[in-house]
Structure 1
Amino acid sequence: MPTPQQGPIGRRVARNVAELRAARGLTLREMSAKMGELGRPTLPSGIMKIEDGTRRVDVDDLVALALALDVSPNRLLLPESAGTDQGVDLTPEVTIPTEDAAWRWAVGEYYPFPLDAPTPASEVVKFMAANRPHAGADLNILEQQIAKHLASLKPVARAARAAEEAGVPFRVIVDYMRLTDALDTLEGQ
């Protein structure tokens, strides 16, 4: 039974740890051993309590659990899938409307706040620059580059919106754009 203090993310982490451990065929004892090897010793009973929600997970536990399960911390924090229309509770008072938006927010691609109004592009670019430092300084000039190439980009945006309306998940559109050269090569074979 979940602890009363545990919020929606804590409950989700508990479910995800249990599901991922089972999917990998790890026993509680094996998971405990992996946690020990990572410098975060946790008894099998502690793993069981994490999974049933009676033990809270701090950030150090979260990272060790993610390493032990070969996933990113985000995979433990968010639902398994993205692209559905189900909302994702972040706190008892904040729900991101879709799983896709929650994942895009978590990886620093998207700024959905405030939820009831469109976010100006300049705020999205600032969010991306602050949350994707691995992308380098390019994000700092993204707004200028978009403005410079706006005429060429507008048809791409219209096509992406049309694909979304036809049911293609946003992440598939983005991945297709990233893989276009490889996919074009495959089509020619």
Structure 2
Amino acid sequence: MPAPQQGPIGKRIARNVAELRAARGLSLREMSERMGKLGRPTLSTGIMKIEDGTRRVDVDDLVALALALDVTPNRLLLPPEAGTDKGVDLTPAVTAPTEDAAWRWAVGEYALFPLDAPTPAADVVKFMAANRPHASTNLSVLEQEIAAHLKDLKPVARAARAAEQAGVPFRVLLDYLRLTDALNSTDDN
């Protein structure tokens, strides 16, 4: 039987599964055992076929593989890094403009379309509300929270724009804000 035609995501999943399994020092047999414990029995030969691209991965496989490798499904779907200006093929006809854009879209922070026109703020908020239910459950609540803190948020927005203009990548800025408490760097020293 001929190998199924893989699209860009299928090829990337195959590569990512192989690289992550190897990085964790897991044999095919150990990976197969993990999949079985997760309720998605997959023979060692099945894992090998996934890695060489001759077996397609359905969404149930994807989630089980991610759990077995201790990553998110997005980590299997996308490139292992972000931060370059390389485009990311999502389908044979759709390419995210950069790795950052692909990752930001995948985690619900960024709407890819329309790529050629600015997205109104309301559309961005709707996209985020629909794709980040853990962060905000209700669009009107999010809008109210922003409005209630707008005076205090404006200097943060100005500082963020200044940092981006100074060359600080947006993802670094977000990570810094998320990790300031953990890094004990909330003071200006």
TM-score category of the 2 structures, normalised to the smaller one: 0.7 to 0.9
Q: Could you tell me how far 1:114 is from its partner in structure 2? A: 1.0
Q: Would the aligned equivalents of 1:112 and 1:119 in 2 still touch at CA under 8 Å?
A: no
2:73, 2:173 → 1: CA distance? 24
Q: Distance in 2 between matches of 1:32 and 1:90?
A: 28
Q: Write the distance in 2 (CA, Å) between the matches of 1:29 and 1:174.
A: 39
- How many residue pairs get matched? 188
In the alignment, what sits opposite 2:171?
171
RMSD: 2.4
What fraction of aligned residue pairs are identical, expressed as a percent?
80
1:4 CA drift (Å): 5.5
* TM-score between the two structures when normalised by the length of structure 1: 0.87
For structure 2, which runs of at least 5 residues remain unmatched after alignment? none
User: By percentage of residues, which structure has more helix?
Assistant: 1
Residue aligning to 1:103: 103
After the TM superposition, which residues 156-167 of structure 1 pair with which residues of structure 2 at under 5 Å, given as runs?
156-167=156-167
Which consecutive residues of structure 1, in runs of 5 or more, have no partner in the other structure? none
Cα offsets for 1:5-59 (capped at 9, x unmatched): 2111111111100000000000111111111111111111111111111110000
**Is the alpha carbon distance of 1:40 and 1:107 closer, same or farther for their aligned partners in structure 2, counting shifts above 3 Å?**
same
- Equivalent pair of 2:4/2:55 in contact (CA under 8 Å): no
* Counterpart Cα distance in 2 of 1:135 and 1:31: 33
Alignment of 1:93 onto 2:93: yes
* CA separation of 1:179 and 1:29: change in aligned 2, threshold 3 A: closer
Does the aligned pair in 1 maintain the 2:4–2:54 contact within 8 Å?
Answer: no
Q: Separation in 1 of the partners of 2:95 and 2:13?
A: 16
Q: Using the alignment, how far apart are the partners of 2:169 and 2:21 within structure 1?
A: 28
Normalised to the residue count of structure 2, the TM-score between the two structures is 0.87
Question: Are residue 8 (structure 1) and residue 3 (structure 2) matched?
Answer: no
